[in-house]
Amino acid sequence: MTNSSEPKPLTKEICLHIAQSIEDGFEQHDVEIRPHSDIAMLIKDTLWLADELDTSPERLARKELDRWVYAFLRVQQGRNISFIFERLINAQIPREKLRILQKRLDYLSEKGDSHAPDIFFELEVAGRIARQYSGWNILFEEPDIIIEYPTGRVALSCKKAKSERNLSKRLSEAADQGARAKVPFFVIVDAQEILESPFRGNLIHASTQEDLASKCSGFLVDLIVRCSKPIATALDKGAGGVIFCTRCVGLVEKPRLSLCWCLRHQCCPNLSIPDTGYALKYLVQMMEE
């Protein structure tokens, strides 16, 4: 069970650590994890997968395989959320900024809250960046995330798209939100739910890990071509660029039959703003390594 961006295999110990770190993070910020909430379901999926990791793909029935794939993607999301909590344990967070973070966690502790998908994605992006650059300051401020680095600040507006029809609205919202931040900003869109349609769920059949990565990237390239107009509108509103990302799990045939996961990004730079191509490449590198 591997990831082209994260070679370290997922183990039972890692799953248990993820679940515990998330529980500790909510407790640290005085937010109750309510039963049947989105975050409670993520923890449940993580603990379930911890007991299932040794199961061979050949032994999984289709229904079990679908649940395994869903849980695997959720655990990878939880892995980054747990990391940002670990980073925040010793951080001195100003009271007003702490209140913003607590509000976000409250959304995750409610069952079916409409804000939850976006917030999961925000925490995941923040966790990926924090994992690579421990010296940078990551703030949960408008538009969604502010990154403070030695020479400046940049804003990230993170949105989850449920369908191609929904994508235009989400891009417009993200660009409007980013423009209000009054600092250079980029839009990051989670296209995973759009991916589910052409592949009939998250599971992709691939001959090798490279084939899996290619299919995942190809989907994003095709999506960008189809959605060129709303992307152009977001860039016209001042976004330095738009990053599309998706995760997928593949049943890979070689070198042996196994379940592998893949994270991929595709970028659309705003060519009217100098150096945005370089900045986008740097952001993707931070999130994929």
- Range 184-188 average pLDDT: 95
What value does the mean pLDDT take over residues 15-22?
93
Mean pLDDT of 97-108: 76
Identify the weakest region by mean pLDDT among 110-114, 211-215, 243-247.
110-114
pLDDT at 7: 38
Reported as a pLDDT band with limits 50, 70 and 90, residue 269 is: very high
Q: Which amino acid is at 228?
A: S
DSSP state of 9: P
Q: Model-level pTM?
A: 0.83
Q: What is the pLDDT of residue 257?
A: 77
Helix, strand, or coil here: 264? Answer: strand
Residues 20 and 14: beta-carbon distance below 8 Å: no
Q: CB count, 10 Å around CB of 257?
A: 11
Would you place residue 1 in the very low, low, confident or very high pLDDT band (cuts 50, 70, 90)? very low
**pLDDT tens digits for range 50-81:** 998 877 766 766 667 778 888 888 888 888 88
Q: Are strands 145-149 and 152-160 parallel, antiparallel or unpaired?
A: antiparallel
Looking at the chain, the whole-number percentage of residues with pLDDT higher than 70 is 88
Q: How far apart are alpha carbons 206 and 214 in whole angstroms? A: 9
How far does CA 2 lie from the centroid of its chain?
17
Indicate left, alpha or beta for 156 from its phi (over 0: left) and psi (-120 to 50: alpha).
beta
